[in-house]
Structure 1
Amino acid sequence: MSPPTISTTTASARVRACNGCRQMKLRCDAHEDNYGACSRCRNMRRDCVISTSFKRRSRQTKAQLECELERLRAQYGSPPRNHSPSAMLIEQPNPPPNGRSSWESESNMNQYSESLPVNRLPNAISYPEDMLFRLDQPLSEPSVTPLSVSTAPAQDNLMTAEGPHEPDASTAFSPSVGTSTVEHTHSDRKETRTISQRLGDVELSARKINGCFSMFYQFYKPVLPGIFDGDKNPNDVYESSNFLFWTIVYVGARRYAKDPTIVESLTNPLKDFIHKSLFDPDKAISTIKASLLLCLWPLPISTTFRDQNPAIAGAAMQLAVQQGLHYSRHQDFVRVALKKPAANKIFRARLWAHCVTVFQSTNMHDGFPPPMALDPVCADRNLSISDGLPGIILYQYRLHRVLTSALASIMHTTDLDCTRDGDSLNSSILFYDAQAQEISPVEANDLGTFALNNVRLLIRGFHFFAAPGAERTAGILQLYVISCSMIQSASRMDKYHDFGNHCNALQTRAIALAAVCILRVHRSSLRTQIDIDAGEDMFFEAIRISKKHSIQNNDLDGRTSIILTQLWSSTRVFKFKDGSIDGLRLLLRGRLSMSVLFDCLWWWRAEFGGKSNPYVESETDRTHAASSSIEASVSTETIIHQNIAELFEVESIDQGTLPNPLLDPSELPNWNWGEVEDLDLNWY
């Protein structure tokens, strides 16, 4: 083996120490006749480099050293009592085999007798920057934070007889919060490596698994704080739950540039996995965590008709109730005696809050009544939620509770299929909108502004159901301002935090609803009272974010961007048979406030999808029936009274003595009202 060569960098006479010795503040004998390298660098088998632009790294404090020692003891086990900390941190090399040159044997013998002070350990175990193990991630991402690497003996990354040591791609991934660390292989330590895994016909190498986990922890885990802190090692996650493991891999692979085919290959196998895992109560907590991820970042679909998220959300919500997450006392839902550590109590409270927010929002953003919306207070008895949630998550949770209360109240007090209850509906909207604004955010930022505007958008969207009037007009104008503000917040977050790539499906659906609200106001008589240019800019920004969030050709986000583009350029949208154009006129009314969006989709299908709009086709009949309701009411009463007379087999009945069956059917206990309903007497 030829001795290592010194760098060709020329050093001045007053700088005659190599970088390593200068970093450790030790005497360097590189200027002596030592085969072109100092004895310390030869012993440690590293390059001996002398540089005039050397910069010494700051020395760690005593507290930092103690924390590092405690971490190493916890990672590799407590050392024997007769071992010093330096013996745990710096490993001695094996004696040189026979046949090596005399200078190698001599330097190795010197290393046995040389002991380093403890205060020099941080410098001895620090990695050169160019030798750090780098996990697979796109280097071009502006929001990528630097990854930290766990400290280990410097000998593992130094020169060997075969050349520079390249870390194994299958080295175990065990990130700390928001970062990743690597365990290096040692001769006297147990090796921990990420194992390649297979799902159906899909097999992923350890390198790709590590890369997906790294992306997940960096971009997606912060959305659900406190839920995935313990799921750090891929091997451990796989052993605890295969479903959770492959879900994390899928979510992390959404923006994994090293292999963009992972999402496509995992879509079908994961669908089968979902159906099996939702019926496994033994791993309910892991299934709930995986379901949260799939509702926020669902599998690619091309239409909401094929969306499985409502079914996943419903099943997972019931699993959460079965596990007692909604109640403070876990003991009531298990059959064995439990210890009650505070950490477990806080974790369960956080998990329940995320379940309520995500699963119910999944339904509401699809236009479905949320689970347990009829009695939201009694369905939530976990009193530890306010103590265990981070500030921004607690703020979002409180906003969500206002939204569920608003939907429950509006559904109970208002007939959304007609416009007769405009006053009471507008009053309810204003009341709950004011409640949402009264909740104080922890800090004023774009994420909090987006969350507030999202809730206000879903509440204010019910203005489209009210009858035309001054209150409805003022409410829709306010809705226009909220829509522009929410898209503007999303645009700023995309600029500084890459929001478009990593936001969740609920947020993109809210952005699409905001864009449609802007479009409707632009195509109405209110366009003279708004800032048209600002709304147009925000509409195009919504198209850009939807397109950016798309991960697959023809998926829901990609199609949304196309639909919004075509609707904006259309001249037939919201144009009725009488020639009027009114974007405030709502025909589809069965999807709560999301009806504003789904009604637009039918307009798009009629013009660009080659389908007829069933709501426009029946609009003429509906209007005619509404205008002639008085005459129809009179004739219908006559028919009913005739049928009553035939029922009781009397020749004549004084209609003045009969109760009005249209107002109170309970006053006719023997009447079969199922037959009356078949007469199609409901005009609204």
Structure 2
Amino acid sequence: MDAGQGAQGGGATSPTTSIRPGTGNSYKRKRSGAEFESSPGSGGEENEDEGERRRQPGVKRACNECRQQKLRCDVVQDPFTTCSRCNRLKLECKIESNFKRVGKRSKHAEMEKQIDRLRRQLQRAQAQGFMVEDDEEMESPMGNGVYSRNNQSFMGSDEAVSSLLHLKQGGSYSLPRIVYEIENVGLTEDATNHLFNEFWAYYHRFLPFLDSLQSPQHYYQQEHLLFWAIISVASRRYTVDPGLLTSLSGPLSRLLWQTVGGVPNNHFVVKALCLICTWPLPTSTTSTDPTHILNGVMMKAATGIGLHRPSHTQDFSRVSVDLNKEQLHDRVTTWAICNIVAQSNGTGYGQPASTLYDWTLAVRPGDEGPFKLSPELEARLKIERFSDKISKEMYSNASDPRGLAGDEMRSMLTRVYRREFNELQVDILSRDHLSPIANLHLKAAGLHLRLSAFFDSPTTIGYMDDLMGLWRAAIAFLDLVFEIETASAESMPSGFLRYATNYILQMMFAAGFTLLKLLSSFFAREIEFERGRQLFHRTIQAIRSMSVINNDLPWRLAELMVQMWNGARVEQRSQMQQMRDNGNSNSNGHDRPTVIDDTLQLKVRCRMSMSLVFDSIWRWREEFQAQGRGSIEAMKNPTNPDSAAESSASSTHMDSTLIPPSQTSSSVHNQNQLQSQLLSAANTAAGSLTPNQSHHGLPSGMMGGVGYSESNYEVFDPLNWMLDGLVDFPYSYAAVQGLEANGLG
């Protein structure tokens, strides 16, 4: 109803009120309504001031104190004379043109709500273990910015909660103010700043696309999920509260799926997904690892809001969108990061990557506009585009049920991509101001290319050359890893592996499995065994250092790799092979040529370059299930990789399958037969798990540093251990110990 219609309704009413026409005492109702609804910033008192000035022609305006109480005021403005009320009550009498009344009723209602809320929080705090003491002062339960109780993190409320927990006049608990909360986890401002500083200092260099100059509050206002994603990444090595990551995993996962389901998303949600896919939350089994799914969600969310067409975002929005140069560049950078993350995860998981390299990410020399990426991201993008070509050309053949290119085609593509890789390497290394991480991803792409050698048959032309290229690629990648790890440059402080991404971890496993398989095969005669042995052992230690939570996947995988090394007796076989070669050389004057067999062939061939890893899983599991069962207690102490060389007298159940009891080495015939059996069994047992495979219970070979002990075997189901784990992350170390003690790990 407009103003004219209101005038015709019988009783004239002001357009700023909600009084119905025809009601009596309209002025009184208006005054009482304004008193109830008034609040700072409201304009309800303006009409009252006009009426008050009309009633008192000699007084131009009441003072602040009298206006607040709605009392008559006899203040004189010129010359200024204090009103009688302020003079009598010793109040500061002043007149401010921008003064706004604060309604008592609304203020009281707000205070009542706050008191009720604080009472509920006090009850919750008491129910969760906090004690309110009257006789003695209680220490703060939050010394490091996070409430801790029962191995979990708890967020309190605010400074008012401190007063309520206090309950003793004159005392002081000095509880810090909680500023951020997600379910039962809370952070103070100091803890938040500490975590953000950790993220900028150690993690951001692996994925440099966020603005370190923005405050945590700014990220929280942009998107809660992005804020907590940064916190979760930084909490991986948060020594002040080592259990923070475990406490965050559940709440963050629920917030993640709730946010993703609330379409349409924004590009801040896409940024959060990039972080979560790069540093996934801990998980116990491959069946519960959502990273590959989140990769697809990330790319679909990005294209759904038009990140791939940042200059035409209007086409993907229902409202008008006008981006400035800085906002446009932010979206271009986010889209580039999406493709980098999607490709690296596709490579690491052996799955097709849902990348989209189009005009937006094309390299345009001389372009300095918003579409120009930083040198670091531009180099990373070129590397991932190279990896994308390898995956699509070698492992996406529409004419093959497994997607593999034919042997001849793969051999030709390998030669072509070898030259392209060399050109890419020259380009990357010639650039200035690049971090060592760019070169590390380049070496990982080279390993991704060379892993195709495991798909070749022994009769393929250049088979040995391809294996040698694979050996060199694995050595080059691991050498650079350890070079960066021990470096102390300002751009890359030592110990970077503790903060490395999941993709680097996956490629380290691929390189370690490559060493194990090659050193356990006929190809061991062609390479430097001692160098490979030392590098394999360093890889084990590096993977252990990347463990985030006790008994998590990196730790258990390292233990499993040691068990495979010891079980295959790689070093003993190498020594026997060397003795045989020396004997042949002395008698014949030259070395016997290497006998090539099919022991390096893969059964699993549908996981692209990571098929080696998945193939090793099944080979190891089949051998393990067929020959014996292991002990859960093996996880308590790290195994010495050199223990196999000292355990010939007391072999394990698996070792006994490698060396039949009736065998002796009294003759050359028996020795050769022993070598043959060792070779066959070792290649069958030389398997491993992926970085996403779960590990609930491991063989007793991981128990100590002196091999395996058959007397320590306990019954466990390797299928449950590998696929359906009994314990899901996040879990505390105490919980794991309890499960192990009860034989349930």
Q: Normalization by structure 2: what TM-score?
A: 0.52
Contact 1:419/1:467 (<8 A) preserved: no
The residue type equivalent to 2:510 in the other structure is L
SS of alignment partner, residue 283 of structure 2? coil
Aligned to 1:412: 397
**CA–CA distance in structure 2, aligned partners of residues 456 and 566 of structure 1:** 28
Contact 1:202/1:266 (<8 A) preserved: yes
Higher relative contact order (CA 8 A, sep 6+): 2
Aligned to 2:297: 315
Deviation sequence 1:291-321 (CA, Å, 0-9, x none):
1111111111233332110111110110111
Q: Does 1:422 align with 2:407?
A: yes
- Seen in structure 2, the aligned counterparts of structure 1 residues 306 and 609 have a Cα distance that, compared at 3 Å, is farther
Aligned to 1:348: 331
Contact 1:346/1:387 (<8 A) preserved: yes
Contact 2:350/2:609 (<8 A) preserved: yes
**CA–CA distance in structure 2, aligned partners of residues 394 and 534 of structure 1:** 35
Deviation for aligned residue 1:257: 0.7
- Seen in structure 2, the aligned counterparts of structure 1 residues 545 and 282 have a Cα distance that, compared at 3 Å, is same
- Seen in structure 2, the aligned counterparts of structure 1 residues 228 and 204 have a Cα distance that, compared at 3 Å, is same
Q: Which one of the candidate residues 549, 555, 558 is aligned to 2:555? A: 558
**CA–CA distance in structure 1, aligned partners of residues 467 and 285 of structure 2:** 28
The residue type equivalent to 1:543 in the other structure is I
The residue type equivalent to 1:428 in the other structure is L
Aligned to 1:295: 277
What aligned pairs does 1:47-446 form with structure 2 within 5 A after superposition? Answer: 195-229=178-212, 232-281=214-263, 283-329=265-311, 330-372=313-355, 376-377=357-358, 388-410=372-394, 411-412=396-397, 415=400, 417=402, 421-439=406-424, 440-441=427-428, 442-443=431-432, 446=436
Aligned to 2:503: 506
**CA–CA distance in structure 2, aligned partners of residues 420 and 328 of structure 1:** 36
**CA–CA distance in structure 2, aligned partners of residues 381 and 284 of structure 1:** 24
Q: Which one of the candidate residues 461, 467, 476 is aligned to 1:470? A: 461
Contact 1:421/1:466 (<8 A) preserved: no
The residue type equivalent to 1:480 in the other structure is W
**CA–CA distance in structure 2, aligned partners of residues 418 and 270 of structure 1:** 37
**CA–CA distance in structure 1, aligned partners of residues 274 and 249 of structure 2:** 17
**CA–CA distance in structure 1, aligned partners of residues 435 and 220 of structure 2:** 37
**CA–CA distance in structure 1, aligned partners of residues 446 and 537 of structure 2:** 22
- Seen in structure 2, the aligned counterparts of structure 1 residues 215 and 420 have a Cα distance that, compared at 3 Å, is closer
Contact 1:199/1:269 (<8 A) preserved: yes
Deviation for aligned residue 1:523: 1.6
Deviation sequence 1:526-551 (CA, Å, 0-9, x none):
11111112222221222112111111
SS of alignment partner, residue 181 of structure 2? strand
Contact 2:219/2:227 (<8 A) preserved: yes
Contact 1:461/1:479 (<8 A) preserved: yes
SS of alignment partner, residue 261 of structure 2? coil
Q: Does 1:592 align with 2:574?
A: no
- Seen in structure 2, the aligned counterparts of structure 1 residues 500 and 420 have a Cα distance that, compared at 3 Å, is closer
- Seen in structure 2, the aligned counterparts of structure 1 residues 521 and 550 have a Cα distance that, compared at 3 Å, is same
**CA–CA distance in structure 2, aligned partners of residues 378 and 408 of structure 1:** 19
Q: Does 1:461 align with 2:451?
A: yes
Deviation sequence 1:542-591 (CA, Å, 0-9, x none):
21121111111221211221122112212289x9xxxx986511111111
What aligned pairs does 1:515-534 form with structure 2 within 5 A after superposition? Answer: 515-534=512-531
Q: Does 1:479 align with 2:476?
A: no
Deviation for aligned residue 1:261: 0.7
- Seen in structure 2, the aligned counterparts of structure 1 residues 587 and 346 have a Cα distance that, compared at 3 Å, is same
Deviation sequence 1:375-428 (CA, Å, 0-9, x none):
755896797899532223211211111211221122126737599921111111
Contact 2:605/2:611 (<8 A) preserved: yes
Deviation sequence 1:23-78 (CA, Å, 0-9, x none):
xxxxxxxxxxxxxxxxxxxxxxxxxxxxxxxxxxxxxxxxxxxxxxxxxxxxxxxx
**CA–CA distance in structure 2, aligned partners of residues 270 and 570 of structure 1:** 40
Contact 1:238/1:244 (<8 A) preserved: yes
The residue type equivalent to 1:406 in the other structure is I
Deviation for aligned residue 1:272: 1.2
The residue type equivalent to 2:479 in the other structure is Q
SS of alignment partner, residue 203 of structure 1? strand
Contact 2:177/2:189 (<8 A) preserved: yes
RMSD value, Cα: 3.1
Aligned to 2:479: 488
**CA–CA distance in structure 2, aligned partners of residues 509 and 205 of structure 1:** 35
The residue type equivalent to 2:565 in the other structure is W
Q: Which one of the candidate residues 446, 449, 458 is aligned to 2:439? A: 449
Contact 2:265/2:301 (<8 A) preserved: no
**CA–CA distance in structure 1, aligned partners of residues 624 and 552 of structure 2:** 17
Deviation sequence 1:591-628 (CA, Å, 0-9, x none):
11100111112233334577999xxxxxxxxxxxxxxx
- Seen in structure 2, the aligned counterparts of structure 1 residues 224 and 305 have a Cα distance that, compared at 3 Å, is same
Aligned to 2:72: none
Unaligned runs of 5+ in 2: 1-142, 146-175, 488-492, 574-595, 630-745
SS of alignment partner, residue 272 of structure 1? helix
Deviation sequence 1:148-172 (CA, Å, 0-9, x none):
xxxxxxxxxxxxxxxxxxxx988xx
Q: Normalization by structure 1: what TM-score?
A: 0.56
Contact 1:326/1:381 (<8 A) preserved: no
Deviation for aligned residue 1:280: 2.9
State the identity %: 25
Contact 2:336/2:361 (<8 A) preserved: no
Unaligned runs of 5+ in 1: 1-167, 171-192, 614-684
The residue type equivalent to 2:464 in the other structure is T
Aligned to 2:564: 567
SS of alignment partner, residue 388 of structure 1? coil
Contact 2:270/2:298 (<8 A) preserved: yes
